[in-house]
Amino acid sequence: MHNSVSEALLDSFQRNNAILLNLLRALPEGGLEARAMEGSPSVGEQFAHIQNTRLFWLQQVAPELAEGMPQRDRLAELLDESARAICDAVKHRLETGQPMEGGHAHYDHPVLFLQHMLWHEGYHVGQIKLALKRMGYVMPEALEEQAIWSLWRTEVW
């Protein structure tokens, strides 16, 4: 049980990040090259886009927390680090009352920034799953339950 709404919101973003990492780790051979449609970004490009989008908006609204983000080749590590930085930025802004704004961004409340990140990433997860389906891969139900849905639900089927 969470002690506050802000803790629950930050936990929801961390769960979202865990789903992204689980999906990344569950990709079949050739999965990073899959595309939802001819000309669409590949699954690998979509994961990289999620990371780049996180960093772009974080640099806009909390540049002090985006500084020094390592530029490693390991996508899972980068996603984990950027998720922590986003949560730190939102938590800091909630605690201090500072605005979430920068040169190209303004959010009326830190929660709206977090929701923007969640909505954006949910869209790309759908595109990634569609691309995998197009290449003939459908995640087995038990794996999908473990990798995605069990992070949100607690019921047992």
Beta strands in the chain, from DSSP E residues, in sequence order: 100-102, 105-107
Does the annotation flag 104 for ligand binding? no
Is 116 labelled as part of a ligand binding site?
no
92 assigned to a ligand binding site: no
CA–CA gap between residue 95 and residue 89 (Å, rounded): 10
Contact by Cβ (8 Å): 86, 13: yes
Is beta strand 100-102 parallel, antiparallel or unpaired with respect to 105-107? antiparallel
Number of C-beta neighbours around residue 39 at 10 A = 6
CB count within 10 Å of CB 101 equals 15
**How many other C-beta atoms lie within 10 A of the C-beta of residue 17?**
24
Residues in binding site: 49, 120, 124
Sequence ranges of the binding site for a divalent metal cation: 49, 120, 124
